[in-house]
């Protein structure tokens, strides 16, 4: 049964893996977001009566994520950094594990991975995936 009403953000998961491998949940994540955009080229002419007009252009997407570093976890900051360095395309999915909820998926490239360590605090990581190609919703 699909999720109803407002739900806890802990239930929304980001999964990714090297292209061709089954995506796995990123380890010890604290947040994730999917940002979709549509380029809107201007189409204003003298016939636009002084109003701006646009057309739908190129669609794009980016996924951002943050978490805590744990070298023991298989899908964490180190694996993300290795995929970025190798310029490996990744398969990703973004959604809950609840049957009937929408899950967005596609391919992309890791465009950034950062690991940060403050004194007397857990080591954290963050990164982003730039979507390439179509995004599907199941």
CB 67 within 8 A of CB 125: yes
Question: pLDDT per residue over 91-121, tens digit each?
Answer: 999 999 899 999 999 999 999 999 999 999 9
Q: What is the pLDDT of residues 3-62, one digit of tens each?
A: 889 998 999 999 999 988 999 999 899 999 999 999 999 999 999 999 999 999 999 999
**CA pair distance 83, 80, nearest whole angstrom:** 5
pTM for this entry: 0.90
Q: Which two tokens stand for residue 88?
A: 């490996």
Tell me the chain's radius of gyration from C-alpha atoms: 18
Catalogue all structural domains in the chain, each as residue range(s) with its CATH number: 9-37+63-137 (2.30.110)
SS (H, E, C) 1-47: CCCCCCCCHHHCEEEEEECCCCCEECCCEEEEEEEEEECCCECCCHH
């Amino acid at each position: 049964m699909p999720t109803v009403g407002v739900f806890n953000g802990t239930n929304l998961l980001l999964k990714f893996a090297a292209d061709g491998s089954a995506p796995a949940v990123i380890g010890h994540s604290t947040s994730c977001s999917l940002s979709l955009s549509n380029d809107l080229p201007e189409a204003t002419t003298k016939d636009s009566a002084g109003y701006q007009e646009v057309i739908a252009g190129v669609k794009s997407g980016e996924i951002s994520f943050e978490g805590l570093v744990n070298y023991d976890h298989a899908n964490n900051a180190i694996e993300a950094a290795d995929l970025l360095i190798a310029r490996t395309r990744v398969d990703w999915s973004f959604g809950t594990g609840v049957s009937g909820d929408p899950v967005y998926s596609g391919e992309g490239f890791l465009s950034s991975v950062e690991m940060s360590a403050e004194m007397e605090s857990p080591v954290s990581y963050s990164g982003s995936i730039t979507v390439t190609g179509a995004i599907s919703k199941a």
